[in-house]
Chain A
Amino acid sequence: MDPSPQSAPPTGDDPAAAADPELPRLTVTQVEQMKVEARVGDIYRALFGAAPNTKSIMLELWRDQHIEYLTRGLRHLGPAFHVLDANRPWLCYWMVHPLALLDEALDDDLENDIIDFLARCQDKDGGYSGGPGQLPHLATTYAAVNTLVTIGSERALSSINRDNLYKFMFRMKDVSGAFRMHDGGEIDVRASYTAISVASLVNILDVELAKGVGDFIASCQTYEGGIAGEPYAEAHGGYTFCGLAALILLNEAEKVDLPSLIGWVAFRQGVECGFQGRTNKLVDGCYSFWQGAAIALTQKLITIVDKQLKSSYSCKRPSGEDACSTSSYGCTAKKFSSAVDYAKFGFDFIQQSNQIGPLFHNIALQQYILLCSQVLEGGLRDKPGKNRDHYHSCYCLSGLSVSQYSAMTDADSCPLPQHVLGPYSNLLEPIHPLYNVVLDKYHTAYEFFSKE
């Protein structure tokens, strides 16, 4: 039962604390949290004490620097990147998507080279792998397809072999209804999301792919309210976004206890103003998207939320059991297998207006991203003290976009200046929050694939 002798002793063994029994012993969680709060606090104090000119500069989104960092990566990555040799479509997406958010066009040669590269990653039997010659994988498929949709040209979209993609996804489907990441790979909520998101986006989602997924995701909601990677694991921001987005794309959002989910996500925003991934863990810029988008999605689900709240507070059956009756579309799907236009759920969702304003503090989130995640030399990071990387650049900026648009009723109406922290030029392009691609690009793809 004793911890390994190599581990650091818990702070309880600290002789100083033992000497004074009045001093409360601080745990690892408390110590780490205090360190981060101190660093972030210093930054915010500098902001509040600054002259107005300095304040404006501090709150500026350093567009040019980010564009330079992202564009450079598309043509060159150092040897240390060999650890991402099986994730190269992700590298594409982590650069191409934020560039699109910054409304920076790629030149034609670069676009065509990306299309060609991703075509080399496309497996002859369907799906995209982490690099040429590797096994197809749902996550890299998601990254590749999202990249191609972001490029958005006819050439990009038609390069996707949809028939084979469907067959690949079908092979990845497990008897439980969930999906495996790759042949013989792990099953978790990420796999469900990446499969459903791609299938919906390229319009190949049908009842066969959809069945059982919603129930699996629902089984991953924990007692805390958030969603875990697998049943009984800990509620986690990444999986919460994946689970909720997939459910919405399946029109099965009522399968989870939404008030409980909202309550959990709302409490993941801490004094640092950014989001943490799990209860009592540290803030991280990437959760600006995972958690921010998750709670933003619920602004369009308020009818279901109200229904569930009513039934749970009226001491009747616990919420979440009304799965079938609250979504007539969900039930009809079982009877008329070929009649469900799944892709339309994604379309209808974004056409729908927000029923309420943001349930998180959208300005505070922007403050964290602009002041704590931005790196002067370009790129964004987890938190002060960490290095920048493309993944965080992608998700911090995605989160920034979500918060800027969260107070608007319609997905693409222009945010008012009071919704955008810093100069209005900080405003990014809006996204479709279920797929995390720029909204205009989504519409182009939707039209393209609904013709197919």
Chain B
Amino acid sequence: MEHAKSGPSSWPELADVVPVPHDDGPSPVVPIAYRDDFREVMDYFRALYVTGERSPRALRLTAEAIELNPGNYTVWHFRRLILEALDFDLLEEMKFVGKIAECNPKNYQIWHHKRWLAEKLGPDIANKEHEFTMKILAIDAKNYHAWSHRQWVLQALGGWETELEYCNQLLKEDVFNNSAWNQRYFVITRSPLLGGLTVVRDSEVDYTIEAILANPQNESPWRYLKGLYKGENNLLVDDERISGVCFKVLKNDWTCVFALSLLLDLLCTGLQLSDELKSTLEPIRSSHPETADADPATVVCCILQKCDPLRVNYWSWFKATLSQIS
């Protein structure tokens, strides 16, 4: 077998190591046609892993193995054991894993390794980690791992001061970014600096309504708006701005599914329609003669069955359930 020039078989420090070949047995299944350089690195890795050697040469070997396959969680695990045994410079290690993360931003093992390191490095590393996730999110603003890591760093190591502003910025760039809305929810409910949901709810409602009116077809702020009143259906119904935005949007476009859906929630929770609001429903009601005597909630269900055909099964079930419940 030809060995790669710079592969482990040519490293003087590994001269005494006998590589352990891959063993799939006599009749392999899902066999991968490994390239020579891959095979060689993993054969040497296996040799040191089996003996549990925690040395600088083992560390160097894990780096090779990781670069070939960053998804090998066994190699990462072994690397962590070596790092601990050698009391290695963890800031250096952060730099190492950062480089790998940039090329593999959706790999679980890499992000888990970063979390492990950050936990050991403590609050001092918080800013650097936020810079890092920000860099990743600038390329892909919805990277799930990056957001999870960012949330973990905030909760474990801090850095809340500028997070709401960061959400503002991301939403300015892309108001459809649901990850940014989710982060916003996280900040307003979990930040130790803002006082909690009840304190900021009022201003958040205004912010969200503005976003809705700018893009009524954007699902994110509608869900966020409901989220602001999670577990508080009474308050949701009592806040006139909520029914207000529904009707404002419906006046322009009575087929807006999100507005109808929120209106339905409100009606089910006891919203009483003012005469003005009832009259808004009139033209819709008259073009659906089957709703002549129905209560407003049922009327809205009927409209939804027609104008949201993809969800006709869902709305039909909902309508049937409503009549049973009331």
* Listed stretches A49-57, A311-319, A381-389, A431-439; interface member: A311-319
Q: Which of B24, B68, B169, B227 gathers most chain A CB within 10 Å?
A: B24
Shortest Cβ distance from residue B142 to the other chain A in the assembled complex, whole angstroms? 7
Sorting the interface of chain B by its residue count into under 10, 10 to 19, 20 to 34 or 35 or more gives 35 or more
Evaluate whether A270 and B29 lie within 8 angstroms (CB atoms) in the complex, with A82-B69, A184-B80, A185-B112 already known: no
* Cβ < 8 Å to A, chain B residues 301-318: 310-314, 317
Contact in complex: B186, A74 (CB < 8 Å)? no
Contact in complex: A233, B182 (CB < 8 Å)? yes
Contact in complex: A279, B220 (CB < 8 Å)? yes
With A and B bound together, what is the CA distance between A269 and B224 in angstroms? 19
Q: Which residues of A contact B108 (CB under 8 A)?
A: 181, 186
Contact in complex: A75, B73 (CB < 8 Å)? no
Binary contact track A222-249/B, C-beta < 8 Å → 1, others 0: 1111000110111110000000000000
Q: Would you call A280 an interface residue if the criterion is a C-beta within 8 Å of the partner chain's C-beta atoms?
A: yes
Q: Is the interface of B mostly helix, strand, loop or mixed?
A: helix
Q: Would you call B255 an interface residue if the criterion is a C-beta within 8 Å of the partner chain's C-beta atoms?
A: no
Q: Which of B226, B268, B317 gathers most chain A CB within 10 Å?
A: B317
Partner of B138 from the list A3, A75, A81 (CB cut-off 8 Å) is A3
Binary contact track A81-111/B, C-beta < 8 Å → 1, others 0: 1111111100110010000000000000110
Q: Which residues of B contact A83 (CB under 8 A)?
A: 69, 71
With A and B bound together, what is the CA distance between A315 and B313 in angstroms? 26
Evaluate whether A1 and B310 lie within 8 angstroms (CB atoms) in the complex, with A110-B29, A184-B80, A309-B325 already known: no
Evaluate whether A117 and B142 lie within 8 angstroms (CB atoms) in the complex, with A82-B38, A269-B311, A358-B313 already known: no
Shortest Cβ distance from residue A122 to the other chain B in the assembled complex, whole angstroms? 13
Q: Would you call B1 an interface residue if the criterion is a C-beta within 8 Å of the partner chain's C-beta atoms?
A: no
Contact in complex: A267, B311 (CB < 8 Å)? yes
Contact in complex: B233, A318 (CB < 8 Å)? yes
Q: Would you call A351 an interface residue if the criterion is a C-beta within 8 Å of the partner chain's C-beta atoms?
A: no
The residue in chain A whose Cβ has the minimal distance to the Cβ of B218 is: A280
Contact in complex: B313, A359 (CB < 8 Å)? yes
Q: Is the interface of A mostly helix, strand, loop or mixed?
A: loop
* Cβ < 8 Å to B, chain A residues 256-286: 262, 264, 266-267, 269-271, 273, 278-281
* Listed stretches A126-134, A169-177, A211-219; interface member: A126-134
Q: Would you call A45 an interface residue if the criterion is a C-beta within 8 Å of the partner chain's C-beta atoms?
A: no
Evaluate whether A306 and B77 lie within 8 angstroms (CB atoms) in the complex, with A82-B69, A83-B69, A83-B71 already known: no
With A and B bound together, what is the CA distance between A18 and B101 in angstroms? 35
Q: Would you call A182 an interface residue if the criterion is a C-beta within 8 Å of the partner chain's C-beta atoms?
A: yes
Query: Which residues on A are within 8 Å of B, measured CB to CB?
Result: 1, 3-4, 6-7, 10, 12, 27-30, 73-79, 81-88, 91-92, 95, 109-110, 113-114, 116-117, 120, 129-130, 132-135, 137, 181-186, 222-225, 229-230, 232-236, 262, 264, 266-267, 269-271, 273, 278-281, 306, 309-310, 312-313, 315, 318, 356-362, 364
Contact sample, A vs B, 16 pairs, CB 8 Å cutoff: A27-B173, A74-B30, A77-B31, A82-B32, A87-B71, A113-B29, A135-B77, A181-B108, A230-B152, A233-B147, A280-B218, A315-B234, A356-B317, A360-B311, A361-B311, A361-B313
Query: Which residues on B are within 8 Å of A, measured CB to CB?
Result: 22-25, 27-35, 38, 42, 46, 49-50, 68-69, 71-74, 77, 80, 108, 111-112, 115-116, 134-135, 138-139, 141-142, 144, 147-148, 151-152, 162, 165-166, 169, 173-179, 182, 185-186, 190, 218-220, 223-224, 226-227, 230-234, 268-270, 310-314, 317, 321, 324-325
Other than A120-B24, A186-B115, give 20 A-B pairs with Cβ distance below 8 A: A4-B134, A27-B174, A29-B177, A73-B30, A82-B68, A86-B69, A86-B71, A117-B28, A181-B108, A234-B179, A278-B142, A279-B220, A280-B176, A280-B177, A281-B142, A306-B321, A306-B324, A306-B325, A313-B233, A356-B317
